[in-house]
Chain A
Amino acid sequence: MLARCPSCRSTFSTERAGPQDCPACGKPLVVPDVPGAVPPGTQSPLQAGAPPPEEQGTPWEQRAEIGAWRAWWETLVQALFEPGRLFRSARLDRGAAQTGFAVLTVSVPWFVGQMLDRFLLRPWTQRLMERLGASGPFAPLLQKLAAAGHGNSPRTTVLVALLAPLLVVVGLYVNAAVTHLAAVLLGQAKRGFAATFAACAYACAPLVLLAIPGCGFLVGAVWTAVLTGVGLKETHRIQPGGAAAAVLAPYALLCCAACALTMLGGVVAGAVPQ
């Protein structure tokens, strides 16, 4: 049966009625005995205007039944080409599974992309960086990046790539927290942090393009931002304008997330002797 937490307003499915803890926020609540305590002939607020099979779980959340590889592939394809359907079916009590999907989808292509960039394409990307850094407002930054690239040992590159899963988890939570904060401030967070997190986790799907050095990150990042908006709209059941505002507002705070990831990368780089 479906139940809604009165504290965080997230919806979750449960097998039993009675006192229990909300899987999203951990607060105690009581699930009533009769799930259909709604007068006959009327719809519950959750179901009004929404398709009934919603929140039955994404393919990835059903991977025990359909197999992990097929579940990942179907989730990826749905996220890229049928995002509305995917986000509507996401369950808010499957945070750990959603984290797993994001980690798998981002860290493996990131690892591949890093290796390709470091060992095959570094001379070309370095030259490009130096050319771009010759003038313009970002010239000092690009020059420093190019210089740092010269001093980056293969060992550091491999270690950073191997720690990609940790960086992905931290980046995912920072992104979800900042996006949720913006949604709360704009009055768009209708169903708690778990809904924002589900949107952010599945919206990571386009970052599979990180396997393509150079342009992969740029294309994936823009696509991810768009998908996050679609995800917020579906998981919070809000209007498209509100979802777009909640997604775009944190980009003013982009530096914060970038700093966090830089710090983490730095921990790794600092730990390895050049």
Chain B
Amino acid sequence: MRCVVRAGPPSAHALGLAATGLTLLVAAAVLPLDAPPLSLFACPFRAATSLPCLSCGCTHAFAAVARLHPLDAVAASPLGALAAFACAVHAVWTALRLCGFRYAPANFPVTPRVRLGAAAMLVLNWAFLVLRGAP
């Protein structure tokens, strides 16, 4: 199965998603985690149950990826690190396509097995956060 296919220039949504991902990474790189406004944010699920939610640690993961500390990012939230890495890759790839690169990632079929795998990843990520004590 081919991983990339020939494609035209990026669509409006590809550009929008790349800009959004880049903005999030820049914001994560610029803002200190221990000062307002990030320090103001607290997970309501964690406040109510003392357990992390599925996305707890994502802010730290984005900040770590933006500051090129991949291991810290994975330690904060493996799924958050993956999302931040995906944002960076998508932004770079879209920029390349704007510059004339004519290849895009191929679509892969979302089979029930893929869905099951994704659900398992979510559960494993959450278990990791619970055992580790998310930031």
Contact = CB atoms under 8 A, between A and B. Distances in A.
B12 A170 contact: no
Given A21-B8, A144-B40, A187-B110, 8 more contacts: A26-B104, A28-B7, A144-B39, A169-B20, A184-B110, A252-B54, A255-B45, A263-B24
A173 B17 contact: yes
B8 A266 contact: no
Nearest to A266: B37
Contact of B24 (A148, A253, A260): A260
Interface of B: 5-14, 16-17, 19-20, 23-24, 26-28, 30-31, 36-45, 47-48, 53-56, 58-59, 62, 80, 104, 107, 110, 112, 115, 118-119
Contact of A266 (B9, B13, B31, B107): B31
Looking at A7, A25, A184, the one whose CB has the most chain B CB atoms below 10 A away is: A25
B67 to A, nearest CB: 14
Contacts, number: 140
B48 to A, nearest CB: 5
Contacts of B23: 166, 170, 264
Contacts of A177: 17, 20
Contact of A255 (B11, B48, B55): B55
Given A148-B36, A185-B118, A99 B16 contact: yes
A263 B59 contact: yes
A48 B8 CA distance: 31
B36 A269 contact: yes
Contacts of B38: 259, 262-263, 266
A141 B41 CA distance: 7
B8 A28 contact: yes
Interface in A241-274: 252-256, 258-260, 262-267, 269-270
A142 to B, nearest CB: 10
Contact of A267 (B30, B41, B48, B62): B30
**Chief secondary structure at chain B's binding surface:** helix
Contacts of B110: 184-185, 187, 189
Nearest to A151: B36
Contacts of A209: none
B48 A137 contact: yes
26 contacts: A21-B8, A26-B7, A26-B104, A99-B16, A138-B42, A138-B47, A138-B48, A140-B47, A173-B17, A173-B20, A177-B20, A184-B115, A187-B112, A187-B115, A253-B54, A255-B44, A255-B53, A259-B41, A260-B24, A260-B27, A263-B31, A263-B37, A264-B24, A269-B36, A270-B30, A270-B31
Interface string A1-42: 000000110000000000001111111100000000000000
A174 interface: yes
Given A99-B16, A173-B20, A22 B11 contact: yes
